[in-house]
Structure 1
């Protein structure tokens, strides 16, 4: 049977894209070796993955990528099997650091799979392996367990604030941090990213830049606005791009301050350490209060959630900045210039 010219042309085009010649078809061994040589080893390809990943992914998966590099660095991407990844998942779970709020290494095992998937997703996008051949995507990620975080009671919150104001080497900074997170429900990264230019003293707002590259203006009370402005002025935040939160010596604040703060509070208040309470619990506390008193739509806006997942009605219950300011005024008992009358 004679092949149609169109089919011959399409076949030749496909062979060209694969880097295979007609002579290769008569020698299958040469096809295999040519295909193998085009797939890099993990050591050769991992730098490209790291360069293409964002800072959040590098921070979360960096240690797992290094572990994979040590174990499989000299192996090609198509030589790493699902069993290899699953064995590393179990090893990471069994050797994970024990914490009070730990889940027996469950998150460490989950991160191994996610880190491996990030490598193979990039390899598929770069046409290094065929879709559907990723070993990392053949392993089911562990099901997420419900979070143990909850809203703090008014008494618990008062105990935490009192302990922060009466201990430590910089009680003004610690009290300011707790107040900022309680009023805005911002994440730790959002607070650390604040610049002097992000403080609007006229309208009592701070501009938050948080995960997912989201940017939003968040209302704060007039008292907190004045405290943040005074803090910046007294600690050498002069340029608009200078970090707003600073140590007493003028250095920009780092995440280590949070670690020291909650470690100290855990010593002062044993129940804080027992429950593994962190800054994120303040976010739960504030958003729970807003939802109970002002509804889901305003709590969603207060949290800065912009995703489209969930019920379709979330499209129609968006809250504006004035509604968020009104909820803040009710929570703090202080008037806000943008709140509804």
Structure 2
């Protein structure tokens, strides 16, 4: 319906006489319905997964301290940019750091997570999010690479000849090298996730993905022996455990790579970690068996990239065949 210009002019004259403009009316109408960050952040944290809480928790705490009393519609893009610059400048320096670049990226991502939830809850319009008006820093190429055969041999030798639990450390390195799993996948393994008959382990990794991953017969037997020796009895018990029977935690990985860095200084210098084993295995699989098998081996289920990736798929038998070639051990599911 077309608005009568005369009536609009009359309304403007009345508002002018009252000392009120349209913006004042909008603020008064929307304000009481929009919560403060302090009131709303607990809802965001409750709805977020453990990975998001782990990644963004520090930044959400900082935002709560700085903007807790403000309504969501009172936080400006410039406020987020200022915090981004501050977190980038004060980020802790590590060997593998990028001068705080990741911290700045996480500030924007953490803010967007809050406003994505607010938009979904109908608290603000999608065009009103200040976080989405702040550009993320461009992600630089990773310095991670595939390890050479000689480097892998040195890592495994050092793990087997130092430390207070060389059996566990050797088993961890073998598990990650064969399966290319992430730390979360290994720590999430339960006794019921081990199938010694078909030489498979069930991995639950980030994004809630679940897959059966082939392992060599030798590794399957070693995992079963480890579980029996360290008190894993119930099907739901965590499989990997310390000497005293306590479930394994991420601290073992931190201790392992710190120790290996002392034994082999090039490990500490390059910031090598468990994820490098994943990169190494997947590189080998891609070079020898192609992109489709490497994608299945990695457990990637996303559909990003060219449309043709939808048709580039590999089955469990193809992954088992690649594993058998890599380890030199026959696998019951491998193709002849």
Specify the TM-score bucket, using the shorter chain as the normaliser.
Answer: over 0.9
Matched, 1:174 2:169: yes
What residue is the counterpart of 1:209 in the other structure?
204
What residue is the counterpart of 1:19 in the other structure?
none
- Give me the CA root mean square deviation: 1.6
Q: 1:317: Cα distance to partner? A: 2.3
- 2:268 pairs, out of 273, 296, 299, with 273
Could you say what secondary structure the match of 2:212 adopts?
strand
Matched, 1:183 2:175: no
The whole-number CA distance in structure 1 between the counterparts of 2:53 and 2:171 is 30
How high is the TM-score relative to the length of structure 1? 0.91
The whole-number CA distance in structure 2 between the counterparts of 1:51 and 1:59 is 13
Q: 1:31: Cα distance to partner? A: 5.9
Could you say what secondary structure the match of 1:132 adopts?
helix
Q: Deviations over 1:96-124 (max 9, x none)?
A: 11111110000000000000001111111
The whole-number CA distance in structure 2 between the counterparts of 1:305 and 1:183 is 16
Could you say what secondary structure the match of 1:247 adopts?
coil
Q: Deviations over 1:20-71 (max 9, x none)?
A: xxxxxx9976664242111111101111111111111111101100000000
Could you say what secondary structure the match of 2:69 adopts?
coil
The whole-number CA distance in structure 2 between the counterparts of 1:38 and 1:312 is 43
After superposition, residues 268-307 of structure 1 pair within 5 angstroms as: 268-307=263-302
- 1:255 pairs, out of 250, 254, 270, with 250
Matched, 1:317 2:294: no
Q: 1:2: Cα distance to partner? A: 11
Q: 1:129: Cα distance to partner? A: 1.2
The whole-number CA distance in structure 1 between the counterparts of 2:2 and 2:248 is 75
Aligned length: 319
Matched, 1:229 2:227: no
Could you say what secondary structure the match of 1:231 adopts?
helix
- 1:161 pairs, out of 156, 161, 164, with 156
Change (3 A) 1:296 1:32: closer
The whole-number CA distance in structure 1 between the counterparts of 2:311 and 2:21 is 63
Q: 1:311: Cα distance to partner? A: 2.3
The whole-number CA distance in structure 2 between the counterparts of 1:302 and 1:125 is 35
**Structure 1 portions without partners, runs of 5+:** 4-25
Matched, 1:69 2:102: no
The whole-number CA distance in structure 2 between the counterparts of 1:30 and 1:203 is 68
Change (3 A) 1:329 1:37: same
The whole-number CA distance in structure 1 between the counterparts of 2:51 and 2:230 is 29
- 1:59 pairs, out of 54, 58, 67, with 54
The whole-number CA distance in structure 1 between the counterparts of 2:194 and 2:25 is 65
Q: Deviations over 1:277-319 (max 9, x none)?
A: 0000000100111111111111111111111112222222211
The whole-number CA distance in structure 2 between the counterparts of 1:260 and 1:339 is 36
After superposition, residues 127-166 of structure 1 pair within 5 angstroms as: 127-166=122-161
- Runs of at least 4 residues of structure 1 off by over 6 A? none
**Structure 2 portions without partners, runs of 5+:** 4-19
Q: 1:212: Cα distance to partner? A: 0.9
